[in-house]
Amino acid sequence: MNFTYPKNERLKSKTTIGLLFSDGKSVSKYPLRLVYRQEAENSEEQTKIGVSVSKKYFKKAVDRNYFKRVLRETYRLNKHLLLDNLDGNYSIMLFYQTKDKLSYEEINTKMIQLFEKFTAQINKSPDSEQKIES
């Protein structure tokens, strides 16, 4: 099992991030939110992940950076739950949306629940059913 988070899995493209905000769908599991958008099937891109922590809740960059590191680490350790159940390539943004300072264990548990909820939503969406039929 590959527990890495290499550069080619990081979401950096401003156009892709803009498209996520304009026509992406979301799944939430308090205090985390996942916004996603399926990429074109002919694109050679793989699933890309970005993380964000609001300046509204954490004024100090030290605090924001800490929670971004925690989000990336929990993704890195649990990405097999996500990538094994996806067919196709997705652009995904993870958000930490509370001013509560949760522990690593709590965030890790919520991340696992969020990934399970996301894969359940993807597998039952009408878009995925059309791809199977055609």
Could you give the angle at the alpha carbon of 32 between the alpha carbons of 60 and 39, nearest 5°? 110
- CA 28 to chain centroid: 10
pLDDT of amino acid 124: 83
What pLDDT, on the 0 to 100 scale, is given for residue 20? 94
Confidence label for 43 from pLDDT (cuts 50, 70 and 90): low
> Which amino acid type is present at position 108?
N
What is the arithmetic mean of pLDDT over 49-70? 96
**What's CA 44's distance to the chain center, in Å?**
19
As a CATH number, domain 7-119 is 3.30.230.10
Give the residue extent of every domain in the chain: 7-119
pLDDT over 90 percentage in the chain: 70
Is pLDDT above 50 for 134?
no
Whether the predicted pLDDT of 129 surpasses 50: no
pLDDT at 131 over 50: no
Q: How many angstroms separate the CA atoms of 38 and 131, rounded?
A: 12
pLDDT of residue 49: 94
Quote the Cα angle for 114-115-119, to 5°: 120
The two three-digit tokens of residue 1, written as one number: 């099992």
